[in-house]
Structures are given as structure tokens and as C-alpha cells.
């Protein structure tokens, strides 16, 4: 029987600094809640707003799969593997940090705020060679469908990370219904509402709510508002 864990928007950890407003679904940095450590291999889901011209200075990472999804504006990325990129809303940045690198991430605008989701997934193997990928989402051409933008076995226009994960995103008209089937036994799905509201496996979710679902292979999704946007993250529950 399907198991659920609901994380309401307002229950998330919240850091508000002059340059950064960060809402954290799971424990991260100063936010520590032993009941909110992870959902399977999904360890971090931060909903960040960066002030114009501000960002994260050079800092290290290793052994973590880091996915950044800009929702508004853009991020200027630079790392010690030689990557210098700007990733904007409608694109996704995927970094397998493996054996380690330093990087910085700044708002690409000096005046406008940038909003993005920062997602970390535990890797399947340690100390691999770092890898950087940037992809563009299909946008309007894929409306009312889920688009799998991270999946094992890299295909054109999708990315892969070093874990058995499938990430899908979609924007829907009101009352669109679909069924999501997991790709691998033992995987769970974490649904996060980017905009609007949804009914996911019978649970009503509002903007920025999250729902973890496991011990099932199939779940129903229904959009309850126009231009409703949903992110589904399928990850191993044991890893």
C-alpha cells in the first residue's frame, strides 16, 4: 500500500538574509530537523531567492549530484573544472561533483532577483570524475505532459546523474489528469508543486508543497489550477 509524507510549504525551514531568502524542505546548513533529513536519495530541496548581484562565492563540493533549476532570472556559474556558464529559467544545470571541485554561483543580474530550486541527490558511487551538464527544457511544446529531463542513459536534451533517478517536470491546464509509473522497483517519488495546485495520489497540494510517495509503482496526478507546474523526482529509497 502506498505510503505518503506531506511537507507543507509553511513547514519548511526558512533562512532570510539580506542577499538570500532560502526555504528548505529538508535539513540544510543552519536548519536542522531530525525528522526532515531526506526522502530516500533526495537529500536537499532548497527554494532560493537571490538578490541582484549576489550569490555564493567559491566553495567546495564533492560526492553529491546537484541539480539547479532557475525559476526566474539566471545564475552565473564558474567552477574549477573550467566551466563558465549562465543558466536561465527554462534551463537546468546538473553537476556531478564526484571527486571534488570548487564553484561559485551568482545572480546573473545586478538588479533583478533570481529564483531557483537547488536539489541534491546522494550518488550511487563515490569519488567519480566531476561532470557538468546544462540542458534546455522544451517549454510550451510539451504542455500538459510530463517531460523527463533527468534519466539514466543520457538521451538528446536530457541529463543523467550518478544515481537511478528520473526527474520530470510539466506545466498543465486545469483538470489535466495523468498517471505516473515508477521506472524501478524500490524507487519513491517526491512531488513538488512549483506553481498552482494539484491532487497527487489523492492528496491536495498547493504551491511549494511537497509530497513523498513510496511503496507503490503508480500514482495519479490531476492539476487543480491553470498553468499549474509540477516537479516529480523519482529516487531510490534505499541506496
Partner 1 sequence: MDNTIRILAIGYDEPIMKVVGRLIDSHGNWQGTVAMSREEGMLKLQSGFYDAVLLCVGVTEDDEAALNQVMTISNPDAKLIRHFGGGSGLLENELRAVFDKK
Q: Which residue from 12, 23, 28, 198 is in contact with partner 1, where contact means CB under 8 A?
A: 28
What count of Cα atoms within 13 Å lies in the side-chain half-sphere of residue 45?
25
Provide the mask over 42-61, with x wherever binding to partner 1 is found by CB under 8 A and - wherever it is not.
Answer: -xx--------------xxx
Does 214 engage in binding with partner 1 (CB under 8 A)?
no
Burial of 63 (0-12, 13-18, 19+ CB in 10 A): middle
**Residue 62 makes contact with partner 1 by CB under 8 A:** yes
Q: Does 19 bind partner 1 (CB under 8 A)?
A: no
Question: Cα torsion at 224, 39, 10, 24 (round to 10°)?
Answer: -120
Which residues are bridge partners to 171 per DSSP? 229
Binding residue for partner 1, selected from 102, 145, 178, 225, defined by CB under 8 A? 102
Q: Which is nearer to partner 1, 50 or 191 (CB)?
A: 50
DSSP letter assigned to residue 31: B
Is 145 a residue that touches partner 1 (CB under 8 A)?
no
Judged by CB under 8 A, the stretch of 95-103, 138-146, 165-173, 229-237 that binds partner 1 is 95-103
Torsion angle of the four alpha carbons 7, 9, 12, 15, in this order, in degrees rounded to the nearest 10: 170
Give the count of beta carbons closer than 10 Å to the beta carbon of residue 8.
12
Based on the shown chain and the rule CB under 8 A, indicate whether residue 97 belongs to the binding site for partner 1.
yes
Candidate ranges 31-39, 70-78, 147-155, 208-216; the one touching partner 1 (CB under 8 A): 31-39
The set of residues, in sequence order, having a beta carbon less than 8 Å from that of 126 and lying 6+ positions away, is 63, 98
Q: Name residue, grid cell 528548505.
A: 24
Identity of the residue, 53 or 60, whose beta carbon is nearer to partner 1 in the bound complex: 60
- Residue from 39, 106, 116, 122 in contact with partner 1 (CB under 8 A): 122
Q: Is 16 annotated as a binding residue?
A: no
Closest CA to 58 of 79, 36, 31: 79
Among 18, 34, 140, 179, which residue interacts with partner 1 (rule: CB under 8 A)? 34
- Strand runs (DSSP E) across 13-146, as ranges? 13-16, 20-24, 42-50, 55-61, 65-72, 74-79, 84-88, 91-96, 101-107, 114-121, 131-136
Nearer to partner 1, 53 or 57 (CB): 57
Interacting span for partner 1 (CB under 8 A) from 82-90, 119-127, 190-198, 225-233: 119-127
**Is 59 marked as binding a ligand?**
yes
Residues in touch with partner 1 (CB under 8 A): 27-30, 32, 34, 37, 43-44, 59-64, 97, 99-100, 102, 120, 122, 126-127
Binding residues for Fe cation: 59, 61, 103, 105
Amino acid at each position: 500500500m502506498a505510503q505518503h509524507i506531506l511537507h507543507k510549504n509553511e513547514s519548511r525551514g526558512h533562512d532570510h538574509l539580506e542577499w538570500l531568502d532560502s526555504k528548505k524542505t529538508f535539513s540544510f546548513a543552519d536548519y536542522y530537523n531530525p525528522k526532515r533529513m531526506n526522502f530516500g536519495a533526495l537529500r536537499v530541496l532548497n527554494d532560493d531567492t537571490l538578490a541582484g548581484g549576489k550569490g555564493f562565492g567559491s566553495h567546495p563540493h564533492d560526492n553529491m549530484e546537484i541539480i539547479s533549476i532557475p525559476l526566474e532570472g539566471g545564475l552565473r556559474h564558474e567552477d574549477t573544472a573550467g566551466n563558465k556558464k549562465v543558466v536561465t529559467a527554462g534551463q537546468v544545470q546538473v553537476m556531478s561533483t564526484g571527486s571534488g571541485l570548487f564553484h561559485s554561483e551568482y545572480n546573473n543580474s545586478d538588479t533583478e532577483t533570481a529564483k531557483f530550486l537547488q536539489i541534491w541527490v546522494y550518488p550511487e558511487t563515490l569519488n567519480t570524475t566531476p561532470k557538468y551538464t546544462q540542458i534546455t527544457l522544451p517549454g510550451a511544446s510539451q504542455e500538459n505532459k510530463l517531460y523527463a529531463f533527468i534519466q539514466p542513459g543520457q538521451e538528446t536534451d536530457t541529463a543523467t546523474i550518478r544515481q537511478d533517478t528520473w526527474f520530470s517536470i510539466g506545466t498543465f491546464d486545469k483538470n489535466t489528469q495523468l498517471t505516473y509509473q515508477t521506472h524501478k522497483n524500490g524507487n519513491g517519488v517526491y512531488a513538488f508543486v512549483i506553481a498552482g495546485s494539484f491532487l497527487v495520489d489523492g492528496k491536495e497540494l498547493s504551491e511549494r508543497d511537497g509530497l513523498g510517495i513510496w511503496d507503490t509503482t503508480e500514482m495519479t496526478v490531476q492539476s487543480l489550477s491553470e498553468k499549474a507546474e509540477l516537479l516529480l523526482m523519482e529516487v531510490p529509497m534505499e541506496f
